[in-house]
A and B are shown apart, each in its own frame.
Chain A
C-alpha cells in the first residue's frame, strides 16, 4: 500500500494530536494544515472539528478553509470529518443559529430529551449501519460495535441515502454519513480504540485505490 499524505486541518484550539497519531499509527504521513494552501497537495483531508458551531464556522471562514472544504468535497477528493467536521457539512445549526457549508441539505439540532438522558451525550454507544453503507467503509465492523461520542447537537440530513450509521440515544439519530468520497462521523474514531482505528484504516485503504 502506498503511504498516503493526509492533511489534518488544525485551528490550534483543541486536541488534534490523537487524530494525527491515529493516522500515523496506520502508516500515513500527516501534514498539519493551518492554512488551505498547506492541504492542496494532500491525497486526503481530515477535519476534526471542535468547540462550538458558530466559532468553528467563523474560523473556517477567516482562514479560507470554508472554500477549500467545499471545493474539495465537490471535486470528490477524499474527506473524513469528525464531530463538528460532520456538522459543518449541513445547511444550518441551532447552535448559535449559524449557517454551515451546505454540502448536504439538512440541519443540526440539539438533543431534546427527557431529564434521564444527560446532555452532552457522552460515552460509548453502539452503531447500526444503514443498508446503503458501503461494505468497504464498514469492513471489520458489525452492528452493535461501540464508539466514543461527546456532543450535544446531532445532524438531521434531509436525504437518507447519505446515512452511514444510526445510534440510539432516547431515539435514533444519524451518527455517520457517507457520500462518494466524503465521509464523516459524529463519534470519535481516534478515541474508540481498535474499532475506531478500523474505520480510519478502511478510509485509508480506499484513498489510494484506483
Chain B
C-alpha cells in the first residue's frame, strides 16, 4: 500500500531558515541542512524548501544549500521559489533537488511547465497553487505574491491545465487558511484532487494532527504539508504519522 506522505516545509531566506525553528537538539536552528537532517531522523517522507530570497543575486545561495542537503539527506527534496526558466530548473536539479515547484512563473508563462516536463520528466515538476475562496463559496481564485495579487484563474481549472501541460504533482495552499491553524480547506482540496489524475499535496491551516487526517481522508490529498506545528516542536513528524496510522491511513512508521 502506498503511504500518505507527511512533508515539513522550510522557508529559506538567503540561505537561512526563517520562522525560528525551535528544536532543542539543534545547535544551529537557522541552518537548513541541520534542520533537514533533524526532519530526516524524525522520519519525514519528503522535504520542501521554499526560497523566499528577494534578490535574484542571492539565488546561488539556495543552490549551495540544496547541494549540501542532498549530500547528507537521502530523501526526496522539492525546491520552490524564484525558478523562472528551464535553465534555473536544470541548475536546481543538478544541485540535488528531486523536484522543483513552480508558482508565479507557471502563471506568467504556462509553456514553462510543458518545456520543463518534457525536458526533465513530469515527476519532477510540481506546480504550486495558492487559492482563496470566492464570495460564492463554491469556487476558488488563484493568487500570487503570497495571496496579495488576484489572477483571473479558477483554481480547479488551473490545476487541470497545468496537469495537461505536464505537472506531475500539485502543491495546493489555501490562502484563507494559511497561518490560521484551523485546518485545511477540505472542500478546495477535494475539488482539486478530484479534478486531476496526479497527487495533490494539501497545505495551509494545520494546527493539530487531526487536521492531517482530514486532509487525506476527506480532502483526498496524497500528502500533507505543514510548517509551524513541526518547526515549533508542537508535534514531531513521527507523531503526525502515528496519528494517520491510528486513523487507518497507511503511513510509513
Contacts and interface: CB of A to CB of B under 8 A. Distances in A.
Interface of A: 12-15, 17-18, 21-22, 50-52, 115-116, 118-126, 146, 148-152, 168-169, 188, 190-193, 196-197
Contacts of B74: 18, 21-22, 190-193, 196-197
A50 B40 contact: no
Nearest to A121: B2
B75 interface: yes
A14 B117 CA distance: 12
Interface stretch (B28-36, B89-97, B143-151, B182-190): B89-97
Given A13-B120, A192-B75, 14 more contacts: A13-B93, A18-B98, A21-B71, A21-B74, A50-B121, A51-B120, A115-B197, A118-B222, A119-B197, A120-B123, A122-B169, A125-B2, A146-B252, A190-B74
A123 B3 contact: yes
16 contacts: A13-B90, A14-B121, A17-B71, A17-B96, A51-B119, A51-B120, A118-B222, A119-B198, A125-B2, A146-B252, A148-B76, A152-B122, A168-B1, A188-B76, A191-B75, A193-B74
A174 to B, nearest CB: 16
A17 B74 CA distance: 10
A52 B199 CA distance: 19
Contact of B123 (A122, A146, A193, A197): A122
Contacts of A193: 40, 74-75
Interface in B78-99: 90, 93-98
Interface string B101-144: 00000000000000000111111100000000000000000000
B45 interface: yes
B169 to A, nearest CB: 7
Contacts of B197: 115, 118-119
B60 to A, nearest CB: 16
A15 B76 CA distance: 11
